[in-house]
Amino acid sequence: MTVLIPSRAESRPGEDEKEASLSTSVLAPTPTPAGLRPGAFGHATHLACRECGATQELGPFYACGECFGPLEIGYEFPAVTREQIEAGPANIWRYQPLLPVPTDITTSPNMEPGFTRLLRADNLGRELGLRNLWVKDDSGNPTHSFKDRVVAVALSAARELGMKVFACPSTGNLANAVAAAGARAGMKTVVFIPHDLEVPKVIASAVYTDSLVAVRGNYDDVNRLASEIAGEEEGWAFVNVNVRPYYAEGSKTLAYEIAEQLGWRLPQQVVVPVASGAQLTKIDKGFTELARLGLVEESPYKVFGAQAEGCSPVAQAFKDGHDVVRPVKPDTIAKSLAIGNPADGPYVLDVVRRTGGAVESVTDDEVRDGIRLLARTEGVFAETAGGVTVATLKKLAESGRLDPDAETVVLNTGDGLKTLDAVADLVGPAATIDPTYAAFTGTGLA
């Protein structure tokens, strides 16, 4: 049996390190690793292994030198106030002190994503019996998915590390975001996608770059190819491969925004789509940081993960009570979530189990219904990933696993205009008529 992470340490030396790196005191300037300009990564101080806790200096590294475990960013945060954040720009850079980006980040061309709508969802809530429901609608980002957040942070890292090419393997949305951000930054971009993606996602990448590469294979094949190229080519920043520790931090801004938009409060339940699982784990990290920094009151929250049944390796591991995630071959209309071998799968299991949440999966028909349900109740057109998440919300509510009175946030991470085919056969004109009043009254719609 192939597993993602061969062995998982019972004790996590990294946890103490994480605690220490969240100190809120005002500290001496961050030491600058060799070759980097001072403050290149803001208040980030080091990379820490998520498996064994070993630390190493900031740089273009993503695997632990000791055990090959994945690395994540450690910080020495300064004291940060709500007022300081509120005075910042209406995009993710208002959280600059909490991200691995320099203080002058707003001066370099980037897509300025974030600060998307948090919508009260009373209609959807009524439908599902949830009395305190919100939709965080990330389709409003510049390339219409949450990926603009992670790419903006990765772009900063690529620049600071002196990388020459901005690249990614992608299930579609990331390709759009990388191609656009690279164009805006004046960087060469090379973007790799599976050959069978939805046409709008292919076009919405190719319009920004001449270097879109369609690979005959699924996302996991594309990802393996990208890792190989990253190992061979000098100066290539594959956002979700060799600059992944920086990239992933961008998803923390979803947590920061949700809390700030709720009036500096953590929600009690949050439902998040899972592909690689990075977004879910970073939303948890974001909530934890806000509480430890005193920006919100510490309060319990449950994190729920959503997958499509045709690619549900994490939901399966959760149901089976396993710590490891067995890779699958994806077969679902939710192509943006079609990662059969999710890098952060085991960490998703950690988060949902620690917080008392769950990972659930839904069929493609439920995904289509989820898209229509959100559209017809709240006027939000989600792509298939949002359909997965709303359908999962429904399933969790119906099975009593969500507290109907708890403040609940469901994420829509992408725009329905990118996956029109998912619902094309299910919706359309109620009637096609001649341009006469009589013909109209004949439809019964008056």
Report the residue from 336, 377, 408, 419 that binds ligand PLP according to the rule CB under 6 A.
336
Report the residue from 100, 142, 200, 277 that binds ligand PLP according to the rule CB under 6 A.
277
233 lies in the site for Zn ion, by CB under 5 A: no
Chain position carrying tokens 């029109």: 420
Token digits of residue 362: 């839904």
3-state secondary structure labels for all residues of 252-274: HHHHHHHHHHCCCCCCCEEEEEC
**Least distance from ligand PLP to the Cβ atom of residue 176, Å:** 9
274 lies in the site for ligand PLP, by CB under 6 A: yes
* Greatest C-alpha distance within the chain: 78
**Least distance from ligand PLP to the Cβ atom of residue 56, Å:** 23
**Least distance from ligand PLP to the Cβ atom of residue 441, Å:** 42
Residues in contact with ligand PLP, counted by CB under 6 A, come to a total of: 19
370 lies in the site for ligand PLP, by CB under 6 A: no
Partner whose footprint covers residue 276, from Zn ion, ligand PLP, none (CB < 5 to 8 Å by kind)? ligand PLP
Q: Find the length of the chain.
A: 446
Buried b (16+ CB within 10 A) or exposed e, 147-179: bbbbbbbbbbbbbbbebebbbbbbbbbbbbbbb
Residue number with CB closer to Zn ion (66 or 233):
66
| Nearest CA-CA partner of 390 in 84, 187, 137 | 137
Give the separation between CA 295 and CA 79, rounded to whole angstroms.
10
Residues of this chain, 33-72, that bind Zn ion according to CB under 5 A: 49, 51-52, 54, 64, 66-67, 69
275 lies in the site for ligand PLP, by CB under 6 A: yes
174 lies in the site for ligand PLP, by CB under 6 A: yes
257 lies in the site for Zn ion, by CB under 5 A: no
Residue number with CB closer to ligand PLP (69 or 414):
414
Partner whose footprint covers residue 145, from ligand PLP, Zn ion, none (CB < 5 to 8 Å by kind)? ligand PLP
Site string for ligand PLP, 154-173 (x = CB under 6 A): -----------------x-x
Partner whose footprint covers residue 197, from Zn ion, ligand PLP, none (CB < 5 to 8 Å by kind)? none
H or E element: which one contains 282? Answer: helix 278-292
| Distances from the Cα of 30 to the Cα of 26, 55, 155, 220, angstroms | 11, 15, 21, 37
409 lies in the site for Zn ion, by CB under 5 A: no
**Least distance from Zn ion to the Cβ atom of residue 49, Å:** 3
Residue number with CB closer to Zn ion (248 or 409):
248
Task: State the Cα torsion 243-245-246-247 to the nearest 10°.
Answer: 80
**Least distance from ligand PLP to the Cβ atom of residue 121, Å:** 18
User: Do 160 and 102 form a contact (C-beta atoms < 8 A)?
Assistant: yes
Report the DSSP pairing between strands 236-238 and 165-169. parallel
**Least distance from ligand PLP to the Cβ atom of residue 13, Å:** 25
Partner whose footprint covers residue 52, from Zn ion, ligand PLP, none (CB < 5 to 8 Å by kind)? Zn ion
**Least distance from ligand PLP to the Cβ atom of residue 270, Å:** 13
Give the separation between CA 90 and CA 112, rounded to whole angstroms.
9
Chain position carrying tokens 């205009």: 417
Helix, strand or coil, per DSSP, at residue 331: coil
User: Do 145 and 139 form a contact (C-beta atoms < 8 A)?
Assistant: yes
Residues of this chain, 314-343, that bind Zn ion according to CB under 5 A: none
Residues of this chain, 387-416, that bind ligand PLP according to CB under 6 A: 413-414
Give the separation between CA 415 and CA 435, rounded to whole angstroms.
33
Give the separation between CA 303 and CA 267, rounded to whole angstroms.
10
Partner whose footprint covers residue 279, from Zn ion, ligand PLP, none (CB < 5 to 8 Å by kind)? ligand PLP
Report the residue from 48, 49, 158, 278 that binds ligand PLP according to the rule CB under 6 A.
278
Helix, strand or coil, per DSSP, at residue 302: strand
Choose the binding region for ligand PLP from 77-85, 116-124, 141-149, 356-364 (rule: CB under 6 A). Answer: 141-149
3-state secondary structure labels for all residues of 145-205: ECHHHHHHHHHHHHHHCCCCEEEEECCCHHHHHHHHHHHHHCCEEEEEEECCCCHHHHHHH
User: Do 124 and 373 form a contact (C-beta atoms < 8 A)?
Assistant: yes
Partner whose footprint covers residue 275, from ligand PLP, Zn ion, none (CB < 5 to 8 Å by kind)? ligand PLP
Partner whose footprint covers residue 278, from ligand PLP, Zn ion, none (CB < 5 to 8 Å by kind)? ligand PLP
Interacting residue ranges for ligand PLP, rule: CB under 6 A: 145-147, 171, 173-174, 273-279, 336-337, 383, 385, 413-414
Interacting residue ranges for Zn ion, rule: CB under 5 A: 49, 51-52, 54, 64, 66-67, 69
